[in-house]
Structure 1
Amino acid sequence: MDGQAGEAYARLEKLIVFGELEAGSLVSEKRLMELIQLGRTPVREAIQSLSRHRMVRVYPSKGILIPPISVEDQFNLLVVRRPLEATAVRLAALRRGTAYDDALEGLISRLSSPLSTLDDYADLLGDAHHTVAAAANNPYLSDAIAPLQSLSRRFWFHHVIDAQQEIEMGAELLGPILRGVVEREPTLAEDASLALNDYLVEFTQEVVNRSRFDAAAV
């Protein structure tokens, strides 16, 4: 999406991912326009795209539902994300043009700097996903992966307890992916991508275990 519709999508997606639009809540189109300070047409186009990507559900007579955060959904999307992301990083390592050199090196440099907040980490992660997907030079793949990554981040941000520990772990796993792409080592990049997916699966299972423990303690 380009122009104001693309900007509306990006702003609304960020509100959803960070929970500023609360999971399970109903909001109106007018309220979304007020939140992001954009007009009806771009907001409506963004809502349609978000609906296709399963980030909102539109009920014409009621409003726009921000979907609940579900462990089952997270497990299901990680199954789909795993091969798509592995393919993307492999293609990026094989196909990337020199135009991506500076962006990739910049991302690696940012990883070596302290990431003290979830906002910092989210910005870096979003830039990394976008750059790698673009370097893969396959728009169908990019379109398929982007919403899965956003929904997965939403779950992660919602359930993080020790933010600094998880940020450090995520950064440690992201580094080899970027280095594999920079060094044109597709196997390194793909293996690192699978390791990151393994971490996300383990994180989700820990959420399940915590919920069981909390329920047993009641």
Structure 2
Amino acid sequence: MAKNPSNGGGRGLRVVGTEEETSDSGTKQKRPARTNRVNHFELAYERIENLIVKCELKPGSELSMQDLQDLIGLGRTPIHHAVNRLALDTLIIVRPRHGLRIAPIDLSRERLLLSLRKDIERFVIELAAQRSGASHRNQMLHLNRILRERREVMDINEFNEIDRRIDQLMLIAAGEPFVEHTLRPLHTIFRRTGWLYHRQMPGSADLKATIDVHLSVLDAVANRHVDAALQASDALIAFVDDMFDDLEAKIDPSLLDVSIEPLCSQPRD
């Protein structure tokens, strides 16, 4: 039987995404590592999503699949899989033969989508308050403690990580996987807009108000107070809606879409 090819010193090349298994004859064979592939798909999605949320991939910017591979450090297949999902989430625009474009921030559209998020969020929060088990409530109380302890010093990047964990936990506690496909991209869309608001709007770096509305949701759901949970969810959505008033009035349009030329502060001759 032919031997596996090796690289100097008798050491075989490591094949990414495969595992070794031993046959009855004692010969080592390669087989696909399905779990690793799935993990790479999810990892690619989360890394690109995070770059979009933090506007490191600027709204309206153009790039290629190869650019993403270089940024993320993963192969073409997981990047392609992640891009397809993000395109369905309306966060990336795929232009055949012309590469990719990060979806600009359309404040009018997002404000319209906020009403959709409100209805779905209420449904999820109500189910989470009714169905959450001891493990779910333990995790909610843990997140609650972190927010309270870090309330005075937390920055937007740290908050967004906690916020993402809260969103995931509420979906799991609700026990209705159907809504995740709609609500998860909505959360990402508004997390990006929230990042821009807290990083770019004067006087908006303080996160105490947004932390407080999230604490109200966690408290109510963890204690299974359904009516209070629904009121807290509505208050959170109202807080986000108020954010749009400032953004529409004051944000530089080029921050919403880099293809828009920044306005000059001085008049031209």
Distance in 2 (alpha carbons) for counterparts of 1:142 and 1:108: 23
**Mapped partners of 1:5, 1:106: distance in 2:** 29
Alpha-carbon offset, residue 163 of structure 1? 4.3
Q: Give the total of aligned pairs.
A: 214
So what's the TM-score if we normalise by structure 2?
0.76
Normalized per residue, the structure richer in strand is: 2
Contact 1:57-1:65 within 8 A present in 2 as well? yes
Are 1:62 and 2:102 an aligned pair? no
Asked if 1:7 is matched to 2:43, the reply is yes
Shift in Å at residue 116 of structure 1? 2.5
Aligned 1:84-95 pairs, distance under 5 A: 84-95=120-131
Which residue of the other structure, out of 168, 174, 182, is the alignment partner of 2:208?
168
Matched-pair identity in %: 25
**Structure 1 residues 176, 51: closer, same or farther in 2, change over 3 A?**
same
1:211/1:111 CA distance change after superposition, 3 Å: closer
User: What's the counterpart of residue 107 of structure 2?
Assistant: 71
**Residue number in structure 2 paired with 1:143:** 181
- Structure 1: unaligned runs, 5 residues or longer: none
User: Which of 172, 187, 190 does residue 152 from structure 1 map onto?
Assistant: 190
Which structure: larger Rg? 2
Q: Report the AA paired with residue 30 of structure 1.
A: Q
Q: What is the TM-score normalised by the length of structure 1?
A: 0.93
Partner of 2:63: 27
Residues in 2 aligned to 1:76 and 1:132: alpha-carbon distance in whole angstroms: 23
Aligned to 1:117: 155
CA distance in 2, matches of 1:133, 1:124: 14
Amino acid of the structure 2 residue aligned with 1:54: T
Give the structure 1 partner of residue 244 of structure 2: 204
Deviations 1:45-82 (A, max 9, x none): 00000000101010111111001111112202211100
Q: Which runs of 4+ in 1 moved over 3 A?
A: none
* 1:188 maps to 2:228: yes
**For 2:180 and 2:230, how far apart are their aligned partners in 1?**
16
Aligned to 2:166: 128
| Higher helix proportion (structure 1 or 2) | 1
Taking CA–CA contacts closer than 8 Å with sequence separation of 6 or more, which of the two structures ends up with the larger relative contact order? 1
1:179 is aligned to 219
1:37 and 2:73 are equivalent in the alignment: yes
Unaligned 5+ segments in structure 2 are: 1-36, 253-262
